[in-house]
Structure 1
Amino acid sequence: MTEFGTLNWSILLVYILVNLYIGFLLGKKINSAEDFFLGDRSTPWWAIGISVLGTYVSALTFLGAPAWAYTDGLSVIAIHLNYPLVILLVVTFFLPFFFNSGVASIYEYQEKRFGHTSRAIISAIFLVSQALTSAAVLYATALVLEFITGIDVEYAIVIVTIIALVYTAMGGITAVIWTDVVQATILLLGGGIIFYALLTQLPLSLGETLAQLKAQGKTDPLNFSFDFSSVTTIWSGVIAMTLYHVTVYGTNQMMVQRTLAAKNIGDAKKSFMMMGFGAFFIYFMFILLGILFYHYYDGARFDNGNTIILRFATDYGLPGLMGIIAAAVLAASMSSLDSAFNSMATVSTIDFYQKYFKPTASGAHYLNVSRLFTVFWAIAIIVPAIVFSKSQGSILETLSKVGSYFVGAKLSMYALGFFSKHATEKGVLIGIVFGFATVWYVATQTDIAWPWFCLIGASVNIAVSLAASLLLDGRQAEYSAYTVKGQLDKFRRDGLAEKDGGWYLVPGRIDRPAYLLLVFFVLSLAFLFLFERVIA
């Protein structure tokens, strides 16, 4: 622990104190459960956007992306090509439903569309999957603290949990957003310093290094193979992972909740679009780091690949760098953990406690309950975090594999809700069972790569749900008011304005600025196509 040094400890402690102070200040403005869940709806869109970006680009990316690229090369970027397409779908179909309803929990939609059982099931799926995801994030951070300070990983897991818990319980979603802004800044600063330092330490120029990596097959970002057992093909990235990430951003309370704190739907959409434009650059930087590390260390094997970036920072020896890196990884982790704690507390309170136990209590009562649930979920993720600590592979890939078991069910429930005329609750519930069973079989009995689990699970779920709905409940006479067509009909029938400030309130209409996401997607593909070809 003494090797960490006074300067590094000072940097880390100042960062922690700043986050706690932000939580303390914003906590003074929290007077009700609505304040805790949504704030006062005055948070600027750019802060929400940075929060969205920082939450998903977490410690798993800081550590896991270089580790994954170290072994698989630049083709890992294919998994993250799809964000412009994902965000286009989310702001066009998902956000209008959630924002117009004024709900704090996005899973209220499922009850309005299908029934209370559907709402309870998808809420439970979110809580379980988010707890596992948060545990992986927590482990990633504890790994850093163990590496740089010598603190045992189990103790580090508890310490990080307590820090994120304190300011989240005090300040709610507003504290989550503003601390995320600080945390994202530190994350990118740390990544930028490491990238610059590595460039200065390479034995050859960047061009010569990339040329050697090209000869070793590490620089091809676009794998057009139709091998469905391969994870990082262009097809799995653009097709399968687009659907996967739609569930991350469109059906995930943790992601959507902060956009519901925006002033209007235009701000909510702009905050999400920041992710659509910004994610590619961030992931490309960390994945490029991975292949450059492969050259720097001459392909040496590491006991735990997730520590590569930390080992380099140690070897580089710049005073204060380890403190910045520790703060960066802690920042990345807490930007995900605080969001998870707040969103899980929101769902637990609204979708279960308020609905089934205390439906008419005061706002102050629900606020206290929400804070208790925040504590509960913080404690609950500690055990799976310790289990993750036994894993040796890339934690980014491990997390993605875990999430792939759940996304098909969530995606299909919303797809059926938005577009199907005849889907009913009974049919949807039967479809979920068959979908999970199919994904389990594919995962355990075949060589098909995990990015395809979402498409496979959702396809089976939708087909079985529609068949069961028609068999049990027959054909429906008209579209539900909570389908896209039903909403369009309602806006026309009631003479409601389809736009607010130039942005569509009605689902299914593409905003003019959102077309730029398609342009950006094409340009990013072109950039990657040319990248390897210009390497000498």
Structure 2
Amino acid sequence: AIFLVSQTLTSAAVLYATALVLEFITGMPVVYAIIIITLIALVYTIMGGLAAVIWTDVIQAFILLIGALIITVSLINNLSLPLGETLEILKTEGKTNPLNFSFDTTQVSTVWTGVIAMTLFHITVYGANQMMVQRTLASKNIGDAKKSFLMMGYLAIFIYFLFFLLGILFYSYYGGRDFDNGNTIILDFASSLAIPGLMGIIAAAVIAASMSSLDSAFNSMSTVTTIDFYQKYVKADATSAHYLAASRLFTIFWALAIIIPAFMYTKSNGSVLETLSKVGSYFVGAKLAMFGLGFFSKHTTEKGLITGVIAGFGVLWWVASNTDIAWPWYCAIGGIVNISVSIGASLIIDGRQAEYSRYSVQGQKQYFSENRLPEKENGWYLVPGRIDKQTYWLLVYFGGTVVALYLFNQLI
């Protein structure tokens, strides 16, 4: 339920961002654009299922990357000063340093929010989010699934750096001035250059990025509703064809549900990216606690967990309303409160449990041992709770990334 609520709100923000592009290009009212984009994403999600979602995501990812590169080149060519001089000026203004070691928890972008808060955030988003996990389940085997996560770990820094560079160059190009709506800066830039085809490429890149998120959201929300609610509580003994039909109906339902908060976002000119991050941060702590305790705790029970989730949301509401703590820390705060209260409430309400759940890490290790199942396949662990040696290279890569970012700022 927490996944469905959080995904509805975040997907609505993505839908609104996509509608802004269509509104900018065509002049169409953003409300109509929201409806049209929803219908397009809905049709190919229902018609093609998970296969359509994954392959369109692959195509759209390439369009996004190509669009970002074209924007970067166009921006560099239209700067008032050479790139080197521009970066030197940006450095003096403190815009090029990606390594901020401040311990001020009111700042969003610091090394500590990245290493601590955002690590917890991304562990939860990529490991306990059906929209991401469904891609993993589409892999041929566990080894391929783990390779995909490792590839993301190695390649993501280049995407982040590209958009970091875009951001500071746009700051320089526009002289740091404020915009009535910062979500359309890239479109304003493309329009001002009047280069044939550039607006279309940029619009395609932005729409591709958004649509890849929408189709994944529709599919994952439908799957969760069908398996975790409909099949479990309504109709447990139906045929596969029946569940397929039900999942398509739920896809339509969630597509319509996402439209409602998307309409609400039209009343705000705030950053869509910031909205996405803030909304997600409220729910990530609860997901972190639920999955973390489910995997590793012996004594946490359903009643205790629900108590912890309620307490976590209550504390986060107070923190957001009465402090200036930056949103990345909401995951850590919510997670700590959730875990602490859940364990305590479970012991008070239900007492100590005799054994681990079968689906916990310890329970799975015991299951593998009792049934003499192989722990490895093609060099990758099958049993949960074991770390593959290939993963340790990511730590080395992380260290190299920090050094590279430091040198980038020093060598400008």
Q: TM-score, normalised by structure 1?
A: 0.75
Does residue 279 of structure 1 match 2:162? no
Distance (Å, rounded) in 2 between the aligned partners of 1:228 and 1:313? 36
Q: Which residue of 2 aligns with 1:144?
A: 21
Deviation at 1:465, TM superposition (A): 1.2
Deviation at 1:488, TM superposition (A): 2.0
* Unmatched runs of 5 consecutive residues or more in structure 1: 1-123
Q: Which residue of 2 aligns with 1:429?
A: 306
Distance (Å, rounded) in 2 between the aligned partners of 1:302 and 1:244? 29
Q: Which residue of 2 aligns with 1:511?
A: 388
Q: Please point out which of 371, 377, 380 is paired with 1:500.
A: 377
1:302 alignment partner AA = F
Distance (Å, rounded) in 2 between the aligned partners of 1:429 and 1:307? 41
Q: Please point out which of 242, 245, 248 is paired with 1:371.
A: 248
Q: Please point out which of 207, 221, 235 is paired with 2:84.
A: 207
Does residue 132 of structure 1 match 2:32? no
Q: Which residue of 2 aligns with 1:218?
A: 95
Deviation at 1:521, TM superposition (A): 1.2
Q: Which residue of 2 aligns with 1:408?
A: 285
Deviation at 1:406, TM superposition (A): 0.7
Distance (Å, rounded) in 1 between the aligned partners of 2:160 and 2:133? 21
Distance (Å, rounded) in 1 between the aligned partners of 2:255 and 2:298? 40
Q: Which residue of 1 aligns with 2:52?
A: 175
Deviation at 1:483, TM superposition (A): 2.1
Counting only pairs closer than 5 Å after superposition, residues 272-311 of structure 1 correspond to structure 2 as 272-311=149-188
Per-residue CA deviations over 1:26-48 (Å, capped at 9, x if unaligned) read xxxxxxxxxxxxxxxxxxxxxxx
2:352 alignment partner AA = R
Q: 3-state DSSP class of the match of 2:140? A: coil
Q: Which residue of 2 aligns with 1:77?
A: none
Per-residue CA deviations over 1:334-357 (Å, capped at 9, x if unaligned) read 100000000111111111111111
Q: Please point out which of 333, 336, 341 is paired with 1:459.
A: 336
Counting only pairs closer than 5 Å after superposition, residues 345-424 of structure 1 correspond to structure 2 as 345-424=222-301
Q: 3-state DSSP class of the match of 1:450? A: coil
Q: Which residue of 2 aligns with 1:261?
A: 138
Distance (Å, rounded) in 2 between the aligned partners of 1:416 and 1:351? 19
1:325 alignment partner AA = I
Runs of 4+ residues deviating >4 angstroms: none
Per-residue CA deviations over 1:37-62 (Å, capped at 9, x if unaligned) read xxxxxxxxxxxxxxxxxxxxxxxxxx
Distance (Å, rounded) in 2 between the aligned partners of 1:315 and 1:262? 44
Deviation at 1:494, TM superposition (A): 2.4
Q: Which residue of 2 aligns with 1:237?
A: 114
Q: Which residue of 2 aligns with 1:328?
A: 205
Higher mean alpha-carbon deviation, 463-472 vs 137-146, is at: 463-472
Q: 3-state DSSP class of the match of 1:381? A: helix
2:261 alignment partner AA = P
Deviation at 1:389, TM superposition (A): 2.0
Distance (Å, rounded) in 1 between the aligned partners of 2:341 and 2:59? 46
Q: Please point out which of 105, 117, 140 is paired with 1:228.
A: 105
2:81 alignment partner AA = L
Q: Which residue of 2 aligns with 1:186?
A: 63
Deviation at 1:255, TM superposition (A): 0.5
Deviation at 1:315, TM superposition (A): 1.6
Per-residue CA deviations over 1:171-195 (Å, capped at 9, x if unaligned) read 1101000111111111111111001
Q: Which residue of 2 aligns with 1:95?
A: none
Deviation at 1:422, TM superposition (A): 1.6
2:115 alignment partner AA = V
Distance (Å, rounded) in 1 between the aligned partners of 2:52 and 2:25? 28
Deviation at 1:393, TM superposition (A): 2.3
Distance (Å, rounded) in 2 between the aligned partners of 1:264 and 1:529? 38
Does residue 520 of structure 1 match 2:397? yes
Q: Please point out which of 15, 35, 47 is paired with 1:158.
A: 35
Deviation at 1:283, TM superposition (A): 1.4
Distance (Å, rounded) in 2 between the aligned partners of 1:479 and 1:301? 55
Question: How large is the RMSD of aligned CA atoms in angstroms?
Answer: 1.2
Count of residues in correspondence between the two structures: 412
Distance (Å, rounded) in 2 between the aligned partners of 1:402 and 1:145? 24
Distance (Å, rounded) in 2 between the aligned partners of 1:467 and 1:399? 32
Instruction: State percent identity of aligned pairs.
Output: 69
Q: 3-state DSSP class of the match of 2:385? A: coil
Distance (Å, rounded) in 1 between the aligned partners of 2:12 and 2:292? 28
Deviation at 1:480, TM superposition (A): 2.7
Distance (Å, rounded) in 1 between the aligned partners of 2:387 and 2:169? 40
1:365 alignment partner AA = H
Distance (Å, rounded) in 2 between the aligned partners of 1:402 and 1:356? 29
Distance (Å, rounded) in 1 between the aligned partners of 2:320 and 2:15? 25
2:164 alignment partner AA = I
1:450 alignment partner AA = W
Q: Which residue of 2 aligns with 1:474?
A: 351
1:164 alignment partner AA = A
Deviation at 1:423, TM superposition (A): 1.4
1:353 alignment partner AA = Y
Deviation at 1:387, TM superposition (A): 1.4
Q: 3-state DSSP class of the match of 1:230? A: coil
Larger relative contact order (C-alpha < 8 A, sep ≥ 6)? 1
